Structure 1
């Protein structure tokens, strides 16, 4: 039985990846930060078969203990402070967790497998936010990185550190440069879930409108459940490498609003949406669209869920949740 350790197991990717690995017969271990983690019950309810370990990406000793306890064949580092807007308010903490945390987990893997650098296969969750002020459209593995947020800068550090450990120590360490991926499990602070929840509440008469930032920003949105399969496929390759994971199709926030409101029978969303400069990024990333040719040809991976289906899925889920919470 293969064994896997997942950091960031409380996030949408961690939950979907856990389900995927369990379905493939893995023994799965998840790293949880803090004894009173508010998402602990969610993980236990969603993937009760996962064995939970206490640890923190900022604490190397806890990661070494987690390695010894789980004795993994594969390590998936999904842990990060991943809300971009938050990273400007807490740049140092974002750097410690999202950036230096990658170095800590890489070092824990290296020390654990010092006798055989291929003993453990490592996956790093890199991000399309690393491209930032895009220098090429679409973006591929060779595109110059120009991050436009503390989060993006921290991800670049972790990305290059993963490459450095691969080249310096011969580790099987791969990075997935994942473009925006969403799901009904996405946190409500992210714009896609913010919209799907608000639209559901507007439909149910629970709120009057939604306040947004830049409506013209464009993203390459896919389904998180599809993207975790790409993570797993990377670690099944004989040679470690880096891959862009994307749909190759871009949509604006306005298009997202079109689909979300249409899903509840509202054709004109203008009366319900206002803009506020507080929700604008200090340095905006205007257009992200990925070229995942390498992943499609080498890994045999393709996204299955299209944009419209994804947004409709999220709205349908939030309608059920909000109706239940309102007792309707």
Structure 2
């Protein structure tokens, strides 16, 4: 039986990837940081099928022991300080985790078993101030946040270990991918959750930053398949994973409010406190290489994604209200 170790398994991508690999017959292990409470909400229905281990991207020896104990055939590094605005407030921590954390995992694999196949979660934020459109695997990077800079370091370190030690190490340059499991702090989920609450009369407005920012949004459930396909290829390489279509934050908000029969302009307020010190205005990827070499295709459209997120948040909000009424 093939086995996989997923760092960041409690996050959005980790939850979808764990389910995907279980369906493929894998033995799935996940690394979680120790805490007084552990965020298992996204993988609650999988905890009896996966094995969780405590670990931290800041601890080299612990990573070495984890790789040796689990003995995985594949490692997926999804762990990171991944919220871009926080990276401006905590740039050093972001660098330690999102940049150097990648090196520590690569070094652990090289030391314990260099035959393990490794996937690194790179990001479209590395393109930042884009130099061409759409962005491909050959587009130069110009990151505009500590998060983007850290991801670029991890990306090139993955390339370096592949070339220096002949390791099977791949980077997926994933563009924005969302789902009902997305964290509430991210703009897409912030919108869908606010729409649900407004529709239920629980709040009156939604404050957002740059409505003209353009992103290439896809469904996280589609994108984890691309991660797996990269590690099944004959040779390791790096791939852009995207839909090839871009939409503004304004479009996302408009579709989300329309799903609940609401006029977005009556509720959305632009608030400059949500602007970044250095913003990324537009991102749009070209997934041609992933389609041609991996046979990967995104299945969920932008409109389907927005509707899915709003529908699920409406269910959540109604369930929360019902619970509160029962507790009265």
TM-score tier by shorter-chain length is: over 0.9
Supply the distance in 2 between the matched residues of 1:62 and 1:10 (Cα, whole angstroms).
19
Unaligned runs of 5+ in 1: none
Indicate the residue corresponding to 1:77 in structure 2. Answer: 77
Indicate the residue corresponding to 1:252 in structure 2. Answer: 248
Task: Could you list the structure 1 runs, at least 4 aligned residues long, displaced by more than 6 angstroms after superposition.
Answer: none
Q: How does 1:134-149 map to 2 (within 5 A)?
A: 134-149=130-145
Counterpart contact for 2:240–2:287, Cα < 8 Å: yes
Indicate the residue corresponding to 1:228 in structure 2. Answer: 224
Indicate the residue corresponding to 1:313 in structure 2. Answer: 308
SS in 2 for 1:229: helix
Supply the distance in 2 between the matched residues of 1:70 and 1:204 (Cα, whole angstroms).
47
Which deviates further from its counterpart, 130-139 or 41-50?
41-50
Indicate the residue corresponding to 1:23 in structure 2. Answer: 23
Supply the distance in 2 between the matched residues of 1:183 and 1:282 (Cα, whole angstroms).
27
Indicate the residue corresponding to 1:276 in structure 2. Answer: 271
Change (3 A) 1:95 1:37: farther
Change (3 A) 1:75 1:37: farther
Pick the aligned partner of 1:285 from 280, 284, 290.
280
Indicate the residue corresponding to 1:168 in structure 2. Answer: 164
Unaligned runs of 5+ in 2: none
Aligned-pair distance for 1:42? Answer: 4.3
Counterpart contact for 1:19–1:47, Cα < 8 Å: no
Counterpart contact for 2:12–2:42, Cα < 8 Å: no
Aligned-pair distance for 1:81? Answer: 0.5
Which deviates further from its counterpart, 294-303 or 40-49?
40-49
Query: What root-mean-square deviation, in Å, do the aligned CA atoms of Structure 1 and Structure 2 show?
Result: 1.0
Calculate the TM-score normalised by the size of structure 1: 0.97
Counterpart contact for 2:79–2:98, Cα < 8 Å: yes
Aligned-pair distance for 1:36? Answer: 2.7
Supply the distance in 1 between the matched residues of 2:206 and 2:298 (Cα, whole angstroms).
30
Q: How does 1:50-69 map to 2 (within 5 A)?
A: 50-69=50-69
Q: How does 1:177-256 map to 2 (within 5 A)?
A: 177-256=173-252
Supply the distance in 1 between the matched residues of 2:52 and 2:88 (Cα, whole angstroms).
31
Instruction: Say yes or no: does 1:324 pair with 2:319.
Output: yes
Supply the distance in 2 between the matched residues of 1:43 and 1:63 (Cα, whole angstroms).
22
Aligned-pair distance for 1:68? Answer: 1.5
Change (3 A) 1:182 1:3: same
Counterpart contact for 2:8–2:32, Cα < 8 Å: yes
